[in-house]
Amino acid sequence: MSLRTLNIAPRAFLGFALIGCLMLFLGTFALIQMGKIHAATERITQDTLPSIKSVDDFTQLSLRLRVHAYRLLVNRDPVAQQRTLDAMAERNRKIDEARPGYEALISMAEERAAYDQYIDMLTQHRQLESRLIELSRSNQLDTMQELLNTQLMDSAEKINATLNRLVQINTRYATEAAEEAAQLYRDASNLVMALLTLATALT
């Protein structure tokens, strides 16, 4: 049966029903796409950026620990020695306090592997720090200097390299999320424009 054989009322009803269905689809599609864009944005603001901030905190604390380790060797005043030991303990405590917050943000296997590597290196580094403190208390300055310039330096550099790797992983993840959001926006914009054009033509 041809559409032209129908009366104006059924034709109007069918036409506007079709347009209504198009608008319903358009609204549903737009909501779904907005949800995906929002999710991609949340990954950046609630995952990758806080992760990068946490890694930066780890890096700063590690650098301060390295400075304090050298102070043990350079400043042999008993009062200064105790202040340095207290500062080292405080820095290590802050690292331990920050760890659960970062661990809750880990979302990729690659990131988990790099973080586990960091924890293993941190454990080994603290063992070297304990050895350095023992040498300081027994005034074995030559051995302290050798330890600082060899094993502790190598350990610190490996830790920094691993922390840089974590920053790179999270930065790449943020970039991918931003590109995904941009692509979703482009796709949604194209389809919305096409459906609006079709709805206008049908009207």
- Residue 90 DSSP code: H
This prediction's pTM = 0.77
Contacts of 49 (CB under 8 A, 6+ apart): 174
pLDDT tens track, the chain, 203 positions: 565 666 777 777 777 788 778 778 877 877 787 777 777 777 777 788 889 999 999 999 999 999 999 999 999 999 999 999 999 999 999 999 999 999 999 988 999 999 999 999 999 999 999 999 999 999 999 999 999 999 999 999 999 999 999 999 999 988 888 888 788 788 878 877 887 787 777 77
In angstroms, the CA 159 to CA 117 distance is 9
Domains annotated for the chain, with CATH where assigned, are 8-202 (1.20.120.1730)
